[in-house]
Amino acid sequence: MSERKVAIVTGSATGVGAAAAILLAEKGCNVVINYTRSKAEAEETAAECRSKGAEAICVQADVSDDANCRAMAQAAVDEWGRIDYLINNAARTKFNPYPQLDGVTKQDFLDIYAVNVVGAYQMIRAVEPHIRKNRGAIVNDSSIGGVTGIASSIPYAASKAALNLMTKSLAHVLAPEVRINTVVPGMIQTRWLKGGMGDEQYEAMLESTREQLPLKDVATAEDIAETLVFFLIGAGSRLVTGETLIVDSGIHIGQLPPYSSGEDY
């Protein structure tokens, strides 16, 4: 059995998942890098983890498939003999304007829930006996859409709301050996956000967004990774479970209402 603790990060070839895997490697964990299609990027992330002194393996797996989830957990156990941490970061969406209700089908809901909710549950179930044995921790990567209802699509927002509530339910079930929490990011500067936009359009969108945020800044993948990893191994996290932490530069609190004097209140 490895003396180093072991973490699985789903959807970790790029973006927040990759940043979280690299940070865990920096902090002394061996890491499973998970991908579905981005093999080259997964290998690059694994190489970056190894450059931090950690061991890393890449596992192709679709978390919507229970057998894939169990195989990923087994790969970690076969390689290192243990699992201590899980970050559920893999996610799926379908970009669709909210007013276009006909743009979303039943299958869209099923496909999105299969990854964002069922997939997270299946991964937790697959690793649970190992993490419980090691008194480890789990963190789910959600979205501000699961709180405000505004996101890339209605099914995506609804799935993240379900993930937030599922975390609270599982906090009871997994205690006292395992802590589980959720991080709720707002906008994040990632390839997924940029989509098909050109550089100028993307930068203009970021600048416009910054002006609407109380803290006037848009999170990076590394910002969210730091919060995810805090819930696993951060000082002060030992007694935190069932928590849903919003990391969105303050957008959920809204704009400060204008007023002329204290007499208005």
Strand partners, 180: 138
Give the integer Cα–Cα distance in Å for 187 and 26. Answer: 25
- At 204, the amino acid letter reads A
What Å distances lie between residue 5 and 69, 187, 233, CA to CA? 19, 31, 11
CA angle 216, 221, 226 (to 5 degrees): 95
What Å distances lie between residue 146 and 80, 115, 183, 232, CA to CA? 35, 15, 11, 22
Please tell me which residue in 156, 202, 259, 265 is annotated as part of the active site.
156
DSSP calls for 89-114 = ---------TT-GGG--HHHHHHHHI
* CA dihedral over 201, 207, 213, 215, signed as positive or negative: positive
Q: Is 156 a catalytic residue?
A: yes
* CA dihedral over 17, 52, 247, 170, signed as positive or negative: positive
Give the integer Cα–Cα distance in Å for 54 and 31. Answer: 7
Q: Where are the beta strands (DSSP E) in 22-99?
A: 30-35, 56-60, 85-88
Give the integer Cα–Cα distance in Å for 199 and 192. Answer: 14
Catalytic positions, written as ranges: 156
